[in-house]
Amino acid sequence: MAKFIIQGRKPLKGKITVSGSKNAALKIFPVSLLTQEPIRLFNVPEIEDVFRAQEMLISLGGEVKKIKKGVYEIKFNGKKSLDMPASLVNKFRASIMFVGPILAIYGKVRFPHPGGCVIGAGARPIDLFLNGFQKMGAKVKIFRHECGQDYYYLTVKRLRGANIFFPKISVTATESLMMTAVFAEGETILKNCAMEPEIVSLAEYLNSCGAKIKGAGTSTISVKGIKKLKGGEYKIIPDRIEAGTFAMLAAASNSGEVLIKNCQPNHLEALWTLFDKIGVNYSLTKDSVLIKPAKKLLACDVTTHEYPGFATDLQSPYTVLMTQAHGSSLIHETIYDRRLLFTDMLTQMGANIIMADPHRVVVNGPTKLYGRQLVSPDLRAGMALIIAALIASGRTEIDNIYQIDRGYERLDERLRLLGADIKRVE
């Protein structure tokens, strides 16, 4: 298994460029099923999750052509396949995004529970999606496939517009119902929607191809059904999570000037508000962030929240940053119940962290960190461990880096340009 080997405490300075947003890129592949015209994509991040989305599109009868780095042309040719291959569905949760478009064009779709079995404990739920499709007229059956895995089978004669209230705010459920409603008969009103910039970007793209979507970026979205969608061009917005993570890396390292380029700082206002309280020395332009060494970092509590609040995807690097700040900070993770478990590895590295319950930890800082042998548990925690290793004394080995490659493109190469000592060992 590939791993990263990091020799910590090298001064970090220079420029780093932010890639296209993973969470925006992943959604354009399912959207491409809604038209048989080609779509030209720009600023595509070349990361494992995006490769899985490309494979899914190809397995359903689509084509993916790389024009040059970051520029692709994708096209769906309408070959009928209502089965989503388990080998891909099991690999990435965003595969759930293909369900609505397949249902919209074929009236049926079969797929296993993303990431595992239907009743399996701990599987991330998909009830918000299923309830939405049912409101639009779909019938949902669960059956045991010959491979032994439980599958969902959804059928509908004609999707119809519906009034859908999400009992919980979900990014992918909002996007999925929004794209599915494009071909439903009449108007769909989605309430208590997520408001992330990736949703706004997706709605703008769909509207540029003929869809009639209003309200994306607010909690109520309306979609008027249409009959045909054109192809078009989609420029993927910069990854705000990557930009925020690099900013926290530079602040935690506190060793030189780091310029983070090609980003949209206006998507990270919750982070800048915290930086003001912590005392991070930063300045912003329309598309860049400059972090300079600060005199002293102060601890500050944080609670994760849906956009525009502080993103759960930024929580793990923030927790590492707090190990370098003076005082105690309470980190309250409200969205996922397993996202603080990685702090155990920070404790092994020398951090002073007390877990109050699965949703809350208290970090007492500042503490020195020391290199250790670690395993990346997931994408965001894996990235946080890299930050911890870069500021720690000595050598750290991080195993299972597929989990990091899922969302960060050529991370080791880009960090080396800042002066980091990080090697990939296959």
Q: Provide the binding-site residues for ligand UD1, judged by CB under 6 A.
A: 23, 26, 93-94, 124-129, 168, 170-173, 311-313, 335-336
- Minimum distance between the CB of residue 36 and ligand UD1, rounded to whole angstroms? 25
Q: Cα separation of 110 and 66, whole Å? A: 29
H or E element, residue 317: helix 315-322
- Minimum distance between the CB of residue 328 and ligand UD1, rounded to whole angstroms? 26
Q: Cα separation of 392 and 372, whole Å? A: 9
Cβ–Cβ under 8 Å, residues 223 and 135: no
- Minimum distance between the CB of residue 152 and ligand UD1, rounded to whole angstroms? 12
- Minimum distance between the CB of residue 26 and ligand UD1, rounded to whole angstroms? 5
* DSSP string over 128-171: HHHHHHHHTT-EEEEEE-TTS-EEEEEE-SS-B--EEE-SS--H
CB nearer to ligand UD1: pick between 336 and 370: 336
CB nearer to ligand UD1: pick between 237 and 311: 311
For residue 157, the tally of other CB atoms under 10 A from its CB is: 9
Cβ–Cβ under 8 Å, residues 397 and 3: yes
Cβ–Cβ under 8 Å, residues 2 and 384: no
CB nearer to ligand UD1: pick between 109 and 126: 126
CB nearer to ligand UD1: pick between 110 and 380: 380
CA 257 vs CA 290, 366, 385: distances in Å: 7, 21, 22
CA 292 vs CA 142, 258, 317, 378, 397: distances in Å: 55, 7, 18, 29, 28
Cβ–Cβ under 8 Å, residues 362 and 323: no
- All residues at 6 or more sequence positions from 239 whose CB lies less than 8 Å from its CB, including other chains: 18, 19, 20, 21, 22, 23, 24, 45, 263
Q: Cα separation of 158 and 309, whole Å? A: 37
**β-pair type (302-303, 327-332):** parallel
CB nearer to ligand UD1: pick between 159 and 202: 202
CB nearer to ligand UD1: pick between 10 and 27: 27
CA end-to-end span of the chain, whole Å? 6
CB nearer to ligand UD1: pick between 35 and 176: 176
Report the catalytic residues.
Answer: 117
Q: Among 352, 403, 349, which residue's Cα sits nearest to residue 375?
A: 403
- Minimum distance between the CB of residue 136 and ligand UD1, rounded to whole angstroms? 15
- Minimum distance between the CB of residue 170 and ligand UD1, rounded to whole angstroms? 3
Q: Cα separation of 71 and 133, whole Å? A: 33
- Take residue 190 and report the two structure tokens written for it: 């989605």
- Minimum distance between the CB of residue 337 and ligand UD1, rounded to whole angstroms? 8
CB nearer to ligand UD1: pick between 406 and 414: 406
- Minimum distance between the CB of residue 193 and ligand UD1, rounded to whole angstroms? 11
